[in-house]
Amino acid sequence: MAIKAFFVGIAVLALLFLNGCSARATPVMEETGVLELPYTVQSLAWHPDGRLLAVGYFMRDVVEVWDAHTNKPVFAVPSKRWAGNRSGQDVLFSPDGKHLIVQDYQDIKHGELKVPESIDEAAEIAARNDKDRYVLARVWDVVKRREVAQIKGPGTRRIGVTPRAMCVLANGSTLAVLRATGVAVYGLPSGALESELDLAHPFNDRPEVGRSYETMSCNPIRDEVSLGALQFFRDAEKFGLTNWTGATAIVVADLERKAVRKVLFSPTPLNGVAYSADGSKLVSFGMSPIRVWDANKDFAALGEIENPPEWLWLNQRGMKVDMLRPPPNIPRGNAGKLVPVAGTDLMFGLSGDLYLWSLTERRAIVHLPAFPDVMRIAAHQASDTFAVVDDRLIHIYKLNRSALSALRK
């Protein structure tokens, strides 16, 4: 912990000089507390009250709810990971705060799961077609602290709910769940299946190109999701892209009409997609550059934002540069996670260090030195509060609107 404390101290000092400001200036983003957890944190979600945090851990079959004000655990939820999920259970609260949805994976018909030799095995195929065989997630009553419903669906030892791929739709009463090649919609809190959309073949002119998906983002104003696909390899050239470059498809689905709305392409590998706070823009992030599309105008391209410099490359060479205005021809980093800032065109997220990006100005406008092991970020939109995971520590940041306004004048 001594090494971690050293880095924390360096980061706090750096915040005092954020964007070249003096120590007497008010920083745009300020750390207000640290929550220390017993295990490495891999998933987290804010309760609507801005006090409770649900946390999933690396390689552990449990989710815990913590009080961020008292730094004490409130209750725990047992939750079974599926075989390929080492990154912690996906967690989220319902918009009204009454329910906690926790990713799970249990075969309720055959007990212990078995690893198939091939995805083409008869048992594997049968499992994928059995909509009542697996518990994919559980719905818990936050006040009574007990399970009230189960989210069921098909799956196998290899295929369950994609990690970090559940979200509540704009109507606030239905849950979208990404299941490898499709999206299922369930009612809340009942857990009843309401609709399904098969997206295994999203390309009308290329039905032979099958897709599965790794990430999903829900539009905050309409029942629409955007899915980040697995990378293209040999199929990239069929879409005018270069094979073996990590080109990635983004499929936008209208869940109300049960149809693909748009297919977008990134020539570089992606870590995810996210909507702006008002749902008007879609952002893809991963290898540079970040790309921005107009979600209200048939996803017309609005521009690109270069990722900040690769900090490890700079450190190895002992170089110090202005991370917001770097010189050209410096290798760019990898954007790992972006979340929207309420009421703004800004995205807060990770690219080696922490940044605030302006989607309008197409650049990073605030830089915060990060910690060594940042893994996840969660935003509580109503209070401008952000949780940043650093191994077993959750650093809590607060956005200062007055300082932000002064910066952007």
More confident residue, 247 or 19: 247
Query: What is the mean predicted confidence (pLDDT) over 102-130?
Result: 70
Distance CA(7)–CA(2), nearest Å, equals 9
More confident residue, 344 or 61: 344
Would you state the torsion angle of the CA atoms of residues 248, 311, 163, 102, taken in this order, to the nearest 10 degrees?
-150
Q: What is the pLDDT of residue 119?
A: 60
Q: What is the pLDDT of residue 126?
A: 73
What is the band of 88 on the pLDDT scale with cuts at 50, 70, 90?
A: low
pLDDT above 90 for 371: no
Q: What is the pLDDT of residue 252?
A: 97
Identify the three-state secondary structure at position 59.
Answer: coil
Query: What is the mean predicted confidence (pLDDT) over 381-409?
Result: 93
Query: What is the mean predicted confidence (pLDDT) over 104-114?
Result: 72
- The HSE-up count of residue 78 (CA atoms within 13 Å, CB side) is 3
Q: What is the pLDDT of residue 14?
A: 44
Question: What are the φ/ψ torsions at residue 8 (nearest 5 degrees)?
Answer: -60, -45
- Which single residue is written with the structure tokens 């017993």? 38
Q: 244: exposed, middle or buried (C-beta count within 10 Å: 0-12, 13-18, 19+)?
A: exposed
Return the amino acid letter for 81: R
Distance CA(184)–CA(194), nearest Å, equals 8
Structural domains of the chain, with CATH? 37-198 (2.130.10.10)
What is the band of 146 on the pLDDT scale with cuts at 50, 70, 90?
A: very high
Query: What is the mean predicted confidence (pLDDT) over 1-8?
Result: 43
What is the band of 370 on the pLDDT scale with cuts at 50, 70, 90?
A: confident
- Residue 77, sorted as left (phi over 0), alpha (psi -120 to 50) or beta, turns out to be beta
Q: What is the pLDDT of residue 12?
A: 43
- For the chain, the average pLDDT equals 86
Share of the chain above pLDDT 90, in %: 58
Lowest mean pLDDT among 9-18, 91-100, 123-132: 9-18
